[in-house]
Each structure stands twice: as C-alpha cells, then as structure tokens.
Amino acid sequence: MAEISATWTRRGCAARLREHRSGRARSRKSSGANRLRRLLLMPSGWRIVRAARIKTAFTGEGSRVYGGRWNSRGTAVVYVSEHESLAALELFVHIMPVSPIERYFSFRLEWNDNLTEYFPVKKLPPDWNAEPPTSASMRIGDEWARRARSVALALPSLLSTSELNFLLNPNHPDFKRIKINGPIEYHFDPRMARR
C-alpha cells in the first residue's frame, strides 16, 4: 500500500502544481514553461490487442461482455496501461500462454490531464486486489462510467501497484479528444510462449 500512496502522492503534487499557478501576468517565457509543464503532465497510455481485435480495440465491447477488475458485465470501458510493458504484462496474464503464431498490436494514447479522474487510494475497497475481482471494485468503474464524470479514470494495477491502469469511457463525449496512435506490431519474447 505504501507503493500506491507514493505514486498517488507524486500525482497529487503534480495536480497541486497545476492548480496553484501564480497570479502574475504571463510573459512569453512563462507561457512556454506552462506549455512544457502541461506536456510533461499529459497522461499517456498503452493498449495491446490481438490482430483480430484492432478494429474493435476502443469500443469497450470485451469488457462489456466479460467484465473486469473495475467494471461488471454490461458496462463498456477500455482498459489502458500507463506503460507499454505493463500493457504487455496485463495481456500476458489474461491470455496465458501467449501464442507464438498470433500477431499483436500496440497503440499509444495521449490526452490532457484535465480529462482524468484519479481515484483516491483511501477510497479503494479493502479487497480491491482480490482474485477474482469483487463486486466492490467493479462498482467503482460502473458508477464512474454511468455518471460520465470524466473520460479517463486512473486506478492502481494489481500486477504492479506502483503503476496505473486507466479506464476509458468510449461513450463519453470527450472520448474523441483522446489521441490514439498506432497500431504498431508488438512482439512478445518467444520465451513467454513456453510459460
């Protein structure tokens, strides 16, 4: 839990940094610094999918049909990881073993930080990391999507609690503001197919 708190504390500092801008008149120099600050604080995410799912990678259909840690069946969300390596790890644990003949593709996404809600660690249910996921953790994503509070919701990854996964709401009006790059072919190390 300390790892999660440290990550969220850093993110909280970044949020406070954005909120408490000085009241002085902006010069060209400071506006450039603010532009750089916004760029550095812009969240990005990664999603890796099988080749057959490229066209539906951002519909939320898979999570709607099967549910996930942060949503129940019937709620369409798109799971995205903070880093490409975490996206690969998340996919690996859900499709083990990795097929050596199947093709995978990676997408990099970018969006403005003001489109993201960071879920408070203190409000996570005690069993948020239970396996299989509980209805308490699923309610978090269900409620967030139903209320359309933001287009992105940041939550800890069970596999690496110091890193974030994001839920994206494909039905939110701001979904079109997310820049989706790719797809780029992604290759799993052949040794992973033997696990």
% pLDDT > 90, the chain:
66
pLDDT score of 195: 58
Rg of the Cα trace of the chain?
A: 18
Q: What backbone phi and psi angles, to 5 degrees, belong to 36?
A: -65, -45
pLDDT tens figures, 106-164: 999 999 999 999 999 999 999 999 999 999 999 999 999 999 999 999 999 999 989 99
SS3 109: strand
User: Contact, 31 vs 21, CB < 8 A?
Assistant: no
pLDDT digits (tens, 9 = 90+) for 62-77: 999 999 999 999 999 9
**144-156 burial string, b = 16+ CB within 10 Å, else e?**
bbeeeebbbbbbb
Domain ranges of the chain: 2-194
